[in-house]
Amino acid sequence: DQQVKQNSPSLSVQEGRISILNCDYTNSMFDYFLWYKKYPAEGPTFLISISSIKDKNEDGRFTVFLNKSAKHLSLHIVPSQPGDSAVYFCAASTGNQFYFGTGTSLTVIP
Amino acid sequence: DTGVSQDPRHKITKRGQNVTFRCDPISEHNRLYWYRQTLGQGPEFLTYFQNEAQLEKSRLLSDRFSAERPKGSFSTLEIQRTEQGDSAMYLCASSVGLTNEQFFGPGTRLTVL
């Protein structure tokens, strides 16, 4: 059973515009959410996280929004840059177990 | 800071053979995780260590899989009697303290023929 879902396998955005990546989850016990970025032949790299007690966390060009009632989180990248092109995974945790989505491949077009 | 390292990076084996992978976490990271990732999927949690103690195991971790972290530093993941379905990328990650931020290694790609 997929507890964390990323329903968009791919996304293309023009350089300078906003990229919005979405993630849905089913387990209301999740208390921490994270976004990772992955380049080919490398392991995932941590981007940004948010605790379930917050609804927004911002770090530079990256902002994560959490809507607990909808069990939905999103990652906003503004402005998007070609170097942002990668696969983005959302993850959720309860205790010491982490559950990852299937990833969204972002392409930022120069 | 050398990051999380994994060895080997690639392993090709025949069905029925045993394989062992090694993970060296970032020094002083007391938490270590193993994941498996197949094509088109996200990483799937396998097991978690805090120091040398294995505290969590996924039901994905069948009895053919065993993991150790003998001195709370490096960790090994062994797969016995490999099957073609074991073909995947095996990722290791580490973290420290109360943070949930995990640092991932580059992974070991296993191909079972």
* pLDDT per position as a tens digit, A88-110: 999 999 888 899 999 999 999 99
**Smallest Cα distance from A44 to chain B, Å:** 6
CB pairs under 8 A between A and B: 54
d(CA A102, CA A90): 8
Strands in B3-105 per DSSP E: 5-7, 10-13, 19-24, 31-37, 44-50, 53-57, 65-68, 75-79, 88-95, 103-104
The partner residue sitting opposite A96, judged by closest CB among B4, B56, B103, is B56
pLDDT, one tens digit per residue, over B39-76 is: 889 999 999 999 999 998 988 788 999 999 998 899 99
